[in-house]
Amino acid sequence: MLRASRFVASFSAILAIGFVAEVSAQTTPTPPEPGVTESSVRIGMVAGVTGAVSDLGVEIKRGFEAYVNKVNASGGVAGRKIEVLFRDDGYKPENTVHLTRELIEKEKVFALAGYIGTPTTKALLPLIEKEQIPNLAPYTGGDFMRAPFNRNLFPGQPAYGDEVEKLVSHLVADLGIKEIGIFTQDDEVGNTGRASLVRALDKRGLKIHGAGIYSAKNPGDVANALSALQATKPKAVILFSILKATVPFLKAAKDANFKPVFAAFSPVNSLKLIEALGRDVEGIYVTEGMPWPTDSSVPLIRTFQEDLKVTPDKVALPATVSGYMSAAILVTGLKKAGRNLTRESFRAALESLRNHDLGGPRLTYTPEHHGGLSNIYLTKIRNGKIIPIQKFEN
């Protein structure tokens, strides 16, 4: 009898412990998701509004903030306002890493968005992997954004390799040019440009016809780069370069009577080129990863023009559209994830987008491949204006 009583008492104690544990498990709140409150979600943005790419940084920030301000003015997303914590890295990778670590560890941001630059964004990869924090639509078309696959990287810009392929295809097919060189810098950007050009030429049984390399730390010193290209005499040169190198290079090329066909990739900033050089940039071809800011036939551009109050006297750049697009991608993911927002639900929401219409440009992310945007637009500088074109012309 005594044994039975002890057994009942022990069994009752076990049941009680189990009950308390179950109740405790049910009532213990889950840790809050970093950067997410009942009324806000914090986003970290680090971009160079000073330094070598300040011409791009200022415009990307302008476009990004315009879209976010519009969304917040209408109540935010799922009842949460978007709080953007901005830092200026001066386009220096070491600053990018330091400032981003502070945003993650001290400010507890939920995600990253609107970053600028290939070397700066690539420098973040170890930190992004460690923290498992999504990085949305940075201004880079570097190969590392898509391969090897990284579930926390969501590219916005088309791949730079695709831009180079587009330029080479039109130089060869439309103009019959096979001797193609490159002007670029001595860092990750330049490595991407040269590798992309080699791939595009190899497909056509061609070889690179000279490379002019300048220092990313001193982009105004272009003399050696020009000399290297003059020695190989290419009939076309791809400008895989930033504005602060491209302007002095084109000035020096004119002075040296070096006149190949020039074709530039999107970060070269064609409107600023016109401002700096006027008619000396006549005839240059430029690829763009975004619809042209004045092309009101694109629904996204119509809303962009309204939100930024774009007029003939108040222009915007493709970089402004890129910043606006980055914010649009961010908001699309937040809306899709809904009220129960976590980094995992946010990633999954983005990965459910298949050929998603952003108002003209279409976006695709899957669990196996984050393709992003892929449209590439051709333009030509003609009579001091940027003209969208379909093919190159003599």
Evaluate if residue 7 carries a pLDDT over 80: no
53-100 residue pLDDT tens:
999 999 999 999 999 999 999 999 999 999 999 999 999 999 999 999
Structure tokens at 171: 């130089």
CB-neighbour burial class of residue 144 (10 A; exposed 0-12, middle 13-18, buried 19+): middle
Evaluate if residue 17 carries a pLDDT over 90: no
- Pairing mode of beta strands 362-365, 370-372: antiparallel
Residue 116 contacts residue 64 (beta carbons within 8 Å): no
Choose between 161 and 8: higher pLDDT: 161
**Residue (of 291, 309, 324) closest to 59 by Cα position:** 324
pLDDT score at 122: 96
Helices (H), 176-256: 188-202, 223-232, 243-255
Quick one: pLDDT band at residue 277, thresholds 50, 70, 90? Answer: very high
Average pLDDT over residues 172-189: 96
pLDDT score at 312: 65
d(CA 157, CA 374): 7
**40-158+297-374 CATH fold:** Rossmann fold (3.40.50)
Sign of the four-CA dihedral 69, 376, 91, 123? positive
pLDDT score at 340: 95
Residue 181 contacts residue 217 (beta carbons within 8 Å): no
Quick one: pLDDT band at residue 8, thresholds 50, 70, 90? Answer: very low
Residue 63 contacts residue 327 (beta carbons within 8 Å): yes
Quick one: pLDDT band at residue 27, thresholds 50, 70, 90? Answer: very low
147-167 residue pLDDT tens:
999 999 999 999 999 999 999
- Pairing mode of beta strands 81-88, 40-47: parallel
**160-288 CATH fold:** Rossmann fold (3.40.50)
HSE-up (13 A, CA, CB side) for residue 302: 7
Indicate the average pLDDT of the chain.
91
Average pLDDT over residues 7-12: 48
Percent composition of the chain: helix, strand, coil (DSSP 3-state, to 5): 45, 20, 35
Quick one: pLDDT band at residue 19, thresholds 50, 70, 90? Answer: very low
pLDDT score at 317: 84
Average pLDDT over residues 289-308: 92
Quick one: pLDDT band at residue 196, thresholds 50, 70, 90? Answer: very high
pLDDT score at 31: 64
- Predicted TM-score (pTM) of the model is 0.85
Quick one: pLDDT band at residue 310, thresholds 50, 70, 90? Answer: confident
In the chain, list all ranges with CATH 3.40.50.2300: 40-158+297-374, 160-288
What percent of the chain shows pLDDT beyond 70? 91
**Residue labelled with tokens 């892929």:** 374
108-137 residue pLDDT tens:
999 999 999 999 999 999 999 999 999 999
pLDDT score at 294: 85
Quick one: pLDDT band at residue 390, thresholds 50, 70, 90? Answer: confident
d(CA 387, CA 68): 30
Quick one: pLDDT band at residue 3, thresholds 50, 70, 90? Answer: very low
Average pLDDT over residues 348-361: 96
Q: How far apart are the first and last CA of the chain?
A: 107
Radius of gyration, CA atoms only, the chain: 25
Largest CA distance in the chain: 111
Counting DSSP H helices and E strands in the chain, the numbers are: 13, 15
HSE-up (13 A, CA, CB side) for residue 250: 27
pLDDT score at 1: 45
pLDDT score at 278: 93
